[in-house]
Amino acid sequence: MEPGRNKTAFIAQWLMKEITEGRFRTGDKIPSEYELAERFSVNKKTANKAVSELVVRKLVERRRGGGGSVVCGNPALLKGKFVVFMSGRISYYSNLLHGFQEGAFHRGYDLYFYSSPDVTDFTLALNRLKVENPSGVIVTHLHEFPADLPFPVLWVNNVPADIRGCNLVRHDNRAGGRMLAEHLVGLGHRRIVYVAQNNVEQPLLERCRGFLDVLKENGIEVLSIELFSDASLSAREFTDRLLRRFPEMTAIACDGDHIAMSILLALRESGIRVPEDLSLTGFSCLPEVQSLVRITSVDERPRRMGAYAAELLADLIEGRTEVPVSEIFSVEFSAGRTTGPARNRTLP
C-alpha cells in the first residue's frame, strides 16, 4: 500500500480508537484537519482523507458553517450495555432513569430497563441477565439481588440486604431530614408530627433519623411518628385523625412530596390553612407536585445522580476505580410556600 495510504489509515484508526474509548463522545468535535495534519506531520489532504473515511462509515459528520466534524451517535460504537432494574410510579424514578441513560450513552454504553421483579422471586431477573449478558447492572428500589454475578453491580439509593462490600451510590437522606427539621425549629415549631411512607426502606429511615436528630439536639420530642398508606385510610380520614389526636400540633413533616400533597388537600377540605394554621413539609421536590404547590421540600436532583451513577458503573467495568465504591450524593433544601412561623393556638 502506498505511503500516503498508510498515513491516512493510521490517522483514521487513531480517531476510531479515541471515539470507541470515549475520549470523543457523541456530539463532540474531533480535531480539525489542520490540527490532525500538524499532529501527524502530514499534509491537509491526507488528514482530510482520514476524516472522510469516518464520514463514509457514518461515525463522523461534517457540519456546515464552520461547525467542524463531530462524532455521530452510531450504535456500532457502543462498548456494551447496562441493565437497570427499578420500579416506581413517581417522577423521581423517571428522572433517575433519564440520568442513567444520559450517563451510559456518554460513556458509550447502551441501556436496557426492566421494572423490578418480585423481591421474593429472582428467577425472572436471572433469566433476563443470562439473555442480555450485560456489561454491568444498576439496581434500585430492591432490597435483595443475586450477589454472585460475573459483572459489576451498582446499587442506587438503597442498601441491599445480606450483601457486604457492595458498590453503592445514595442520596444524603439524613442531611435532608436535618435540613427540614432545622427549618421548622428555626420557625419556632416545637409540636411536630412526622409522617412516613413506611418503616423499612433505608432512605426513608435515614430521612426520619436526620429529622429526629435535630429535634433531640434542640430538646424537642416529636409528638408522633405516623405511617400513612392510602391502601388503609384515605388522606382525608388519615388527616382528620391527626387533627383529632394532636390538636396542639403546629407542623406536619412528611417524608415524601406526594404524601405532603395528599395531606395538604385534606387539610384544605377540613378548613385548615397552610401555612397560617399548620406548616407542612415534603421531600424530593417532585415536579408533578411542585408545579401545583410549592411545598417546602428537599431536592435530590435524581437525574444528576443517575448520570453520575452510570458513569461510575462504566468506571467499574473499565477498571478505572477501586471496589467497592460508596458515594453519598448531596441534596439541597428548597423553601416553599407551605411553612411559616409556629402559631400558639389549638386547632379547631
* R_g of the chain, CA atoms, integer Å: 26
**Which comes out higher in pLDDT, residue 156 or 141?**
156
Least confident piece of the model among 127-131, 167-171, 326-330: 127-131
Q: Which fold has domain 173-299?
A: Rossmann fold (3.40.50)
DSSP state of 321: S
The pLDDT of residue 7 is 86
Is the confidence at residue 325, as pLDDT, over 80? Answer: yes
| Grid cell 467495568 in the structure block, residue | 317
Sheet holding 251-254, edge to edge: 224-227, 192-196, 251-254, 279-281
Q: Which residues contact 178 (CB under 8 A, 6 or more apart)?
A: 210, 211, 213, 214
Q: Report which of residues 167 and 17 the model is more confident about.
A: 167
3 state DSSP class of 343: coil
What is the separation of C-alpha 115 from the centre of its chain, rounded to a whole number of angstroms? 16
Overall average pLDDT of the 280-292 stretch: 96
CB atoms within 10 A of CB 25: 15
Question: What local confidence, expressed as pLDDT, does residue 1 receive?
Answer: 34
- Residue appearing with cell numbers 463531530: 70
Quick one: how many helices (H) and strands (E) in the chain? 11, 14
Question: Is a pLDDT exceeding 90 seen at residue 299?
Answer: yes
Q: What are the pLDDT digits (tens) for 39-94? A: 999 999 999 998 988 887 777 888 877 778 888 866 556 678 898 988 777 899 99
Q: Which residue has the higher pLDDT, 335 or 74?
A: 335
Q: Of all helices (H) and strands (E), which one includes residue 217?
A: helix 202-217
Name the grid cell of 144.
Answer: 435483595
**Bond prior to 287 in cis (omega within 30° of 0):** no
- The predicted pLDDT at position 217 comes to 98
Please state which of the four CATH numbers 3.20.20.220, 3.30.70.100, 3.40.50.2300, 3.40.50.1100 is assigned to the domain occupying 79-171+302-331. 3.40.50.2300
- pLDDT recorded at residue 117: 56
pLDDT for 2 equals: 41
Whether 3-75 shares its CATH topology with 79-171+302-331 is answered no
- Give yes or no for a cis peptide into 134 (omega within 30° of 0): no
Q: What's CA 305's distance to the chain center, in Å?
A: 4
Q: Which of 8-22, 51-65, 81-95, 290-304 has the highest mean pLDDT?
A: 290-304
CA atoms of 187 and 200, how far apart (whole Å): 30
Binned at pLDDT 50, 70 and 90, residue 3 comes out as very low
Cα torsion at 111, 116, 117, 119 (round to 10°)?
Answer: 130
Predicted confidence (pLDDT) at residue 119 exceeds the cutoff of 70: no
Q: What is the pLDDT of residue 116?
A: 62
- Residue 328 confidence (pLDDT) above 80: yes
Could you tell me which CATH number the domain at 3-75 has? 1.10.10.10
From residue 15, how far is each of 18, 66, 246 by CA, in Å? Answer: 5, 20, 69
Cβ atoms of residues 187 and 340 within 8 Å: yes
Work out the pLDDT band at 253, boundaries 50, 70, 90: very high
In this predicted structure, what is the pLDDT of residue 346? 52
Domains of the chain, residue spans: 3-75, 79-171+302-331, 173-299
Predicted TM-score (pTM) of this structure? 0.76
Q: Which of 47, 71, 68, 46 is nearest to 59 (CA)?
A: 71
Q: Is the pLDDT of residue 153 over 50?
A: yes
- The answer to whether residue 10 scores a pLDDT higher than 80 is yes
pLDDT of the residue at 184: 98
Q: pLDDT digit string (tens) for 204-238?
A: 999 999 999 999 999 999 999 999 987 778 999 99
- Whether the ω angle into residue 275 lies within 30 degrees of 0, i.e. cis, is yes
d(CA 177, CA 248): 22
CB-based contacts of 61, cutoff 8 Å, min separation 6 = 55, 69, 70, 72
- Mean pLDDT comparison of 58-67, 109-118, 203-212, 319-328, highest-scoring range: 203-212
Q: Are 188 and 342 in contact (CB under 8 A)?
A: yes
d(CA 253, CA 207): 11
Report the alpha-carbon distance of residue 243 to residue 249 in Å, rounded: 8
Is the pLDDT confidence value at 26 over 90? no
Distance CA 152, CA 323 (A): 9
